[in-house]
């Protein structure tokens, strides 16, 4: 199992069969093979793939990732470090979302890199972006979730942000150069890196939130209550209607503000079944399948992961499966389905092709 921060490896490192996509992408020999920089590496990896055809999907994703990071992006090592930092931030985000489950972490490691390649969606149905460089001075950067159920963004300072559908964020000019301020309309979940020089500040129509190193959720839709829910660290909230008063929230507290009503501090609302905070139920992902045909499952996977699924053989459409998936990539979900009723699949031109 690879660590959250990958180590740049050479051809002498070892059990390639245990590699996942990020491990291949971080291997210097594999990078040279992808970019055809050295005949020895090309011959080695072509031979290795012939011996391990079951790794074809992982290899294809890793090659796409290496080329993505090398296509006009400058130094490849620098780009990989950006990727490493983003993965480390997602480890923290995952712990906040699922830290009280008995298997925290095991299911999330496989999807942290996925949506950057092949159109596979991160956080099952969201889009995924790295803003590797600070915005141009004097210009605002606008990030829209659009119709994506969740859009996950790694900001220039390394902070993670998950935007809910139809939500919008504007990064202030000079973000991560002269400030770390942004304006939110809609709802977002944040996992913020610490930077004493530039405090992280979220502006909404109703409140300003100064982050003191934290994980929190903000719901700030027009004509609705504004709610700031804190999971880790501290936040200092200034209510627009009471600018002289600052409210410091502790973990598992939320601040609720509404027009013409006094603000209120309340505990987070825990689900009585799984005991997780309802305030971030929209961030978590769960796809349940109960004795359904593979054709019906494929339709769900298309919607859930945002990638086209096609059949090369009508027979496999009638295979039936049951299962529950939470935050896996589509590749891992299909791998799991194969265990009970085998079929084959491959990625072609951004689509999944399923055959007997």
pTM of the model as a whole:
0.53
Helix axes 56-70, 76-98, angle to 10 degrees: 120
Average pLDDT over the chain, rounded to whole?
75
What CATH code is carried by the domain that includes residue 154?
Answer: 2.60.120.1440
Answer yes or no: do 103 and 147 share one domain. Answer: no
Rg (the chain; Cα; Å): 22
How many independent structural domains does the chain possess? 3
Give yes or no for residue 1 having a pLDDT over 60: no
Mean pLDDT comparison of 22-26, 34-38, 161-165, 273-277, highest-scoring range: 161-165
Which helix (H) or strand (E) segment holds residue 298: the answer is: helix 294-305
Q: Residue 41 — φ and ψ, nearest 5°?
A: -70, -40
Q: Say whether both 294 and 268 belong to one domain.
A: no
- Same domain (yes/no): 168, 293: no
Q: Are residues 65 and 207 in the same domain?
A: no
User: Could you tell me the residue range of the domain that residue 140 belongs to?
Assistant: 118-280
97 and 23 part of one domain: yes
| Residue closest to 124 by CA, chosen among 294, 305, 335, 340 | 305
| Of 256 and 109, the one with more pLDDT | 256
Q: Is the pLDDT of residue 202 over 90?
A: yes
- Considering the domain architecture, whether residues 160 and 248 belong to the same structural domain is answered as yes
Strands 200-203 and 180-191 turn out to be parallel
What's the CATH code of the domain at 313? Answer: 3.55.50.30
Whether residue 165 is found in the same domain as residue 201: yes
Q: Are residues 80 and 160 in the same domain?
A: no
Contact by Cβ (8 Å): 218, 227: yes
Q: Do 265 and 123 sit in the same domain of this protein?
A: yes
* Pair 29, 158 in one domain: no
Q: Which residue has the higher pLDDT, 70 or 21?
A: 21
d(CA 85, CA 88): 5
On whether both 152 and 273 belong to a single domain, the answer is yes
């Amino acid at each position: 199992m690879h660590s959250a921060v990958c180590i740049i490896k050479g051809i002498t490192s070892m059990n390639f069969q245990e590699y996942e996509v990020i491990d291949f992408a971080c291997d210097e020999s594999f990078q040279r093979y992808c970019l055809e920089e050295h005949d020895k590496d090309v011959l080695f990896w072509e031979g290795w793939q012939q011996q391990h055809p079951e790794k074809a999907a992982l290899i294809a994703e890793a090659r796409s990732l290496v080329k993505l990071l090398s296509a006009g992006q400058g130094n490849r090592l620098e780009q990989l470090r950006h990727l490493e930092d983003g993965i480390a931030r997602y480890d923290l985000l995952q712990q906040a979302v699922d830290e009280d489950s008995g298997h925290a972490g095991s299911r999330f490691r496989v999807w942290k890199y996925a949506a950057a390649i092949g159109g596979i969606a991160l956080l099952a149905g969201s889009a995924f972006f790295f803003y590797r460089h600070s915005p141009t001075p004097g210009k605002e950067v606008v990030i829209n979730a659009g119709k994506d159920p969740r859009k996950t963004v790694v900001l220039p300072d390394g902070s993670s942000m998950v935007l809910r559908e139809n939500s919008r964020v504007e990064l202030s000019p000079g973000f991560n150069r002269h400030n770390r301020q942004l304006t939110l309309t809609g709802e977002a979940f944040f996992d913020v890196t610490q930077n004493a020089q530039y405090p992280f500040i979220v502006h909404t129509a109703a409140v300003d939130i100064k982050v003191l190193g934290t994980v929190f959720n903000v719901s700030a839709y027009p004509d609705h209550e504004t709610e700031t829910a804190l999971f880790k660290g501290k936040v200092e909230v200034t209510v627009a209607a009471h600018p002289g008063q600052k409210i410091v929230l502790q973990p598992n507290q939320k601040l609720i503000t509404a027009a013409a009503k006094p603000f209120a501090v309340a505990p987070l609302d825990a689900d009585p079944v799984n005991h997780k905070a309802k305030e971030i139920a929209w961030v978590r992902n769960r796809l349940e399948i109960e004795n359904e045909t593979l054709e019906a499952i494929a339709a769900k996977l298309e919607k859930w992961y945002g990638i086209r699924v096609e059949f090369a053989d009508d027979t496999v459409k009638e295979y039936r499966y049951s299962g529950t998936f939470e935050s896996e990539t589509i590749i891992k979900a299909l791998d799991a389905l194969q265990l009970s009723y085998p079929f084959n699949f491959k990625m072609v031109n951004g689509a999944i092709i399923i055959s007997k």
